[in-house]
A and B are shown apart, each in its own frame.
Chain A
């Protein structure tokens, strides 16, 4: 693979994330493809965090385990990641401040702190020295870094931006002068259209805005907090509730009153929201619920990733009712998929759950600018005030062929909207009638019939391959790359991948699996949840399971390794 992976590591509070982002942005400015992933602990200071910045001239879809250039902000980083260094891998660190000498041939000392103090009079600029040094090692143009540093730091002051540039230049020159070895790859800008560098949470937020989400409520919880924070600054109402129960009840109140509304949380917060999930279903109030998965149960691994909530969100809440579950692949997919989520929520008047995870939420991709004109808004059976006024004796839950009742809003002149969490009549009033109960249950359970026809699994790789790697959600990039690599090794495999799981597109999945002999499920959980869903919905068994539930993302390296192990 013609790609290069930087790894920046250090303690929380040392600026790992800033270096990672600045480096990624600088490389993206040269129209290179980036994938940035973040590994961090649940603490504000200390511990060990790292960010991977993978870069290539070719499109990148996921991360890699191999490290070509390690930027170690402390001695611990060297110890932890040296084994991951590639053949021509280089590790840079500050021997003076880390109190550790150069010990291995691949280690190279750059006195980050001393250079920072000498050029910008403050060791706080050590990180930027390191960034400059790293770019020098791969021979990358310094002008892009200058540009990015100005943009990043001018909000603090011009002086801070200039000091950063001085520090970067000094780090860059130090390497030019003193480094005699070579790195695995030199990186240079390529021609092309400038692309966005954006993470999953940001892309989801932009998608929600484009889809007309006007109300968002949440309660801070990793990995979804970024969505609430991003939307707080926009021209909508974003509200931090006193707890997740308040958050979702607010979003339902907003949906009932007539705007597109959303909550974002993780598994623990969703657990608190479950009763209200049923409220959304019972009152037929559209709502979008983003569940950013992380390893549970209980507090689990607060800052890490998992795909362990699929069956939970499919079955959460008492009673039986229709819902939809979507699982975006990456930052590009989530932008478009979230608008679909809002459309489905309103067309069917149901809760729609969007399953992301920490890997998707925090990872950055370089992608073409989003096409806002491609966003279609479909508000389903929502009545205008004029339309509603014409209806004699309007009833919110009117029985219809489709099971979907025309929806008026409170405040429409001379129209009354009555919604109830109790079993209710067409008018929305409490009832104890057995007959009405049966009709209402049928309405709520079956109204999404046919929706699964809109869900098409993605197929990738040689069509005639008898071996299929099957996955869902954020594993898309890893599986896709694994398919490429296995085919390069002349192992014929193809991928079938789902970004919409419920209602389950059984026919489409069956078609996609047609002719397959070996079916390998790839999931970020311990029990192969999607495999179980596929078996129950289609009768088709997965023959091999590649699972990962250590809190770390699934990479192509992992899939290839496990695939080969299983084949032996």
Chain B
């Protein structure tokens, strides 16, 4: 059976007209269709925010959990059923603010899950407050004098922590997103993609025009994604020019988190039967 875009058609959206999320939604569906992955093999774990609604507008297994907590849920789901294609999806507030600790430790674990962060540099669901990635000086409802805390650089952070796949893409470029998502799915390990996404309602600074004027593709400038130092230097670039593409992909296959549990070598945990008698022999240790 061929998987088509129709198979992924979901509920009616509740996003603002012109929202950057539409581009991400189209690209994700397109990538899954191009990879011919049927919806029942996909699990999207999403957080809270406009990005967290994404799986409702698709058709696949979904766990729309708490704000900031996508990664622990997704990691555990992968450990329990490593045959699922698992995506974690959230926004910049969800992933870099509320869930920052999990981002850090999921990178260390390297589970074979894909993490998409819709980064619009603002809190949109709560109607316009500063986010960890808001630009310095950006005036929001919670930063009337402009943002003073230094902008988080999640790409540099991920590279520094030893992430095995680090990319950035732009919601206005479907083809580039499809390319990045497919590369992420094909990467065996934790694949993280920061997706620059205009918020047409609350962010009048980082608009489509603003991004389009600045972004350029790393692949066009002969960036070598296996070069860690070059990746780090590119990650630091943010201003007149903003790179998109794969910053870094570890050229050596690293063990995934699931690889390190002997109990799931043969069979996914979820397929293993329950047998109380299996552990009866442990009594001996206490006699």
Contact = CB atoms under 8 A, between A and B. Distances in A.
Contact of A252 (B55, B61, B73, B84): B73
A413 B38 CA distance: 9
A210 to B, nearest CB: 4
Nearest to B264: A237
B101 interface: yes
A256 B171 CA distance: 30
A253 B75 contact: yes
B277 interface: yes
A84 interface: no
A416 B59 contact: yes
B276 A253 contact: no
A246 interface: yes
Contacts of A372: 276-277, 279-280
Contact of B81 (A209, A245, A410, A429): A410
B272 A421 contact: no
Interface centre among A256, A410, A416, A418 (most CB of B within 10 A): A410
Contact of A250 (B41, B43, B76, B275): B76
B11 A254 contact: no
Interface string B152-187: 000000000000000000000000000000000000
B102 A242 contact: yes
B69 to A, nearest CB: 4
Contacts of A214: 80, 269, 272, 274
B85 to A, nearest CB: 10
Given A410-B84, A412-B40, A253 B63 contact: yes
Contacts of A237: 79-80, 261, 263-264, 269
B200 interface: no
Interface in A276-298: 276, 279, 283
B283 interface: yes
Contacts of B41: 411
Contacts of B101: 242-243, 245-246
A252 B73 CA distance: 7
Contact of A197 (B43, B69, B75, B286): B286
Contacts of B45: 253
A241 interface: yes
Interface in B66-107: 66, 69, 71-77, 79-81, 83-84, 101-102, 104-105
A452 interface: no
A147 B256 CA distance: 44
A257 B80 CA distance: 6
Contacts of B233: none
A259 B80 contact: yes
Nearest to B274: A212
Interface string A332-364: 000000010000000000000000000000000
Nearest to B101: A242
Contacts of B287: 194-197, 369
Contacts of A428: 62
B276 A210 contact: yes
Given A196-B286, A237-B263, A411-B84, A249 B276 contact: no
Interface string B21-38: 000000000000000001
Contact of A256 (B73, B102, B280): B73
A253 B44 CA distance: 12
A51 B169 CA distance: 61
Contacts of A211: 274, 276
Given A250-B72, A416-B60, A235 B263 contact: yes
A187 B161 CA distance: 60
B64 interface: yes
A410 B61 contact: yes
A422 B63 CA distance: 11
A117 interface: no
Contact of B65 (A249, A258, A339): A249
B230 interface: no
Contacts of A196: 283, 286-287
Contacts of A420: 56, 62, 64
Q: Which of B77, B286, B287 has the most CB of A within 10 A?
A: B286
A414 B279 contact: no
A184 interface: no
Nearest to A250: B76
Interface string B228-250: 00000000000000000000000
Interface in A417-456: 417-422, 428-430
Contacts of A153: none
Residue from the set A214, A234, A252, A418 with the largest chain B CB neighbour count within 10 Å: A418
Contacts of A215: 76, 79-80, 269
A98 to B, nearest CB: 34
Contacts of B40: 410-416
A491 B179 CA distance: 82
B146 interface: no
B62 A253 contact: no
B95 to A, nearest CB: 14
A377 interface: yes
A428 B43 CA distance: 14
B156 to A, nearest CB: 20
**B53, B63, B101, B278 — most chain A CB neighbours (10 Å):** B63
B16 interface: no
Contacts of B73: 249-250, 252-253, 256
A217 B76 contact: yes
Interface in A1-33: none
Contacts of B60: 416
A373 interface: yes
A235 B275 CA distance: 12
A421 B274 contact: no
Given A258-B270, A259-B80, A410-B84, A202 B286 contact: yes
Contacts of A202: 286
A377 B276 contact: yes
B242 to A, nearest CB: 30
Contacts of B75: 250, 253
Contacts of B69: 245-246, 249, 276, 279
Nearest to A418: B62
Interface in A122-159: none
Contact of A241 (B14, B66, B72): B72
B270 A411 contact: yes
Contacts of B39: 416
A251 B59 CA distance: 24
Nearest to B286: A196
28 contacts: A196-B287, A212-B274, A236-B263, A237-B80, A242-B101, A245-B69, A246-B69, A246-B102, A250-B73, A253-B76, A254-B80, A256-B73, A257-B80, A259-B270, A369-B283, A372-B276, A372-B280, A377-B276, A410-B61, A411-B83, A411-B84, A414-B40, A416-B39, A418-B61, A418-B64, A420-B56, A429-B56, A430-B56
Interface of B: 11, 14, 38-41, 43, 45, 48, 53, 55-56, 59-66, 69, 71-77, 79-81, 83-84, 101-102, 104-105, 261, 263-264, 269-270, 272, 274-280, 282-283, 286-287
Given A202-B286, A235-B263, A420-B64, 16 more contacts: A206-B283, A210-B279, A214-B80, A237-B79, A242-B104, A250-B75, A256-B63, A256-B77, A258-B270, A373-B276, A377-B276, A411-B40, A414-B40, A418-B56, A421-B65, A430-B53
